[in-house]
């Protein structure tokens, strides 16, 4: 397998953004009539890094990174839950605060993992297929188009599974629409930066992968 100079850096940034966004998503931010999960501030960057991974290194390597993020996200949830279940020290008054912020319920974990898994793989798949269809041209159409698909499914799955029956239905709808629009806008705003990073990486790595013979089964690790 070819050795890449910057693949490990992109992988670490991708996973770090994923984990951080899941923690801060415990807060719902209200701006006017819009309501956002806190992770909307940083989570779209994971899709941008997903675009970069697939565009430069191909779906196969992107698949490995997505699975790594899935495994570490699950590990984080297990550790948060385990630590929260341990008895607090005498005189430590913050057990309730810990459980409210980091005490992930199985429902939240399932919502997060399922939304991430389906959304990220759809994003990578759509981008790889669009790259073949466009013969490597019109990068913006691939990064934005793939994100429109991946983020939509991710947002609907996460918010629907996590909050259905817990929050009012109108608030759930507002959160889905607000988060999806915000993530899409962030992707568009960062498109020039994505261009710069992708073009620089292609030169530095001497790689511009086309998935002409790739097995797109997400379970083939």
Q: Is the pLDDT of residue 104 over 80?
A: no
Mean pLDDT taken over the chain: 88
- Has residue 20 been placed in a domain? yes
Q: Is residue 63 part of a domain?
A: yes
Is 212 within a domain? no
Residue 196: which domain range? 7-88+98-205
Express each pLDDT in 21-80 by its tens digit.
888 877 778 777 766 777 777 888 888 899 999 999 999 999 999 999 999 989 988 888
Instruction: Calculate what percentage of the chain has a pLDDT beyond 90.
Output: 43
Cα 14 to chain centroid, rounded: 8
Look at residue 104 and tell me if it is in a domain: yes
Assigned domain for 93 exists = no
Query: Bigger pLDDT: 105 or 119?
Result: 119
- The number of domains in the chain is 1
Tokens of 207: 């790689």
| C-alpha 106: how far from chain center | 19
pLDDT range class, residue 198, cuts 50, 70, 90: very high
The residue assigned the tokens 């669009």 is 130
User: Which range, of 26-40, 118-132, 151-165, 199-213, averages the lowest pLDDT?
Assistant: 26-40
Tens digits of residue pLDDT in 158-187: 888 888 887 788 888 888 888 888 888 888
Of 12, 3, 51, 25, give the one whose Cα is nearest residue 179: 25
Q: What is the DSSP letter of 22?
A: H
Cα 45 off chain centre by: 7
Q: Does residue 45 fall inside a structural domain? A: yes
Burial track 41-66 (b if 16+ CB lie within 10 A, e otherwise): bbbbbbbbbbbbbbbbbbbbbbbebb
- When pLDDT is averaged across residues 180-208 and rounded to a whole number, the result is 90
Residue 220 lies in a domain: no
Domain annotation covers residue 103: yes
More confident residue, 55 or 103: 55
CATH of the domain at 57: 1.10.1760
The stretch 140-157 carries a mean pLDDT of 90
> What gap in Å lies between CA 107 and CA 125, rounded to an integer?
27
């Amino acid at each position: 397998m070819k050795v890449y100079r910057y693949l490990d850096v992109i992988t670490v940034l991708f996973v770090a953004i994923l984990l951080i966004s899941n923690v801060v998503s415990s807060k719902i931010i209200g701006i006017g009539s819009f309501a956002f999960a806190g992770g909307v501030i940083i989570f779209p960057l994971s899709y941008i890094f997903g675009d970069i991974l697939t565009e430069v290194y191909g779906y196969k390597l992107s698949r490995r990174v997505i699975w790594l993020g899935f495994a570490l996200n699950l590990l984080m949830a297990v550790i948060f839950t385990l630590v929260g279940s341990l008895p607090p020290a005498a005189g430590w008054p913050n057990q309730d605060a810990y459980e409210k912020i980091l005490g992930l319920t199985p429902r939240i974990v399932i919502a997060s993992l399922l939304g991430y898994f389906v959304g990220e793989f759809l994003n990578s798949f759509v981008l790889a297929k669009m790259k073949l269809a466009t013969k490597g041209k019109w990068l913006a159409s691939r990064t934005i188009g793939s994100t429109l698909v991946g983020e939509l499914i991710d947002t609907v799955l996460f918010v629907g599974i996590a909050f259905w029956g817990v929050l009012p239905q109108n608030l759930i709808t507002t959160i889905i629409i607000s988060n999806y629009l915000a993530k899409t806008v962030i992707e568009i705003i960062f498109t020039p930066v994505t261009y710069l990073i992708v073009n620089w990486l292609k030169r530095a790595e001497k790689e511009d992968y086309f998935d002409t013979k790739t097995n797109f089964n997400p379970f083939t690790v």
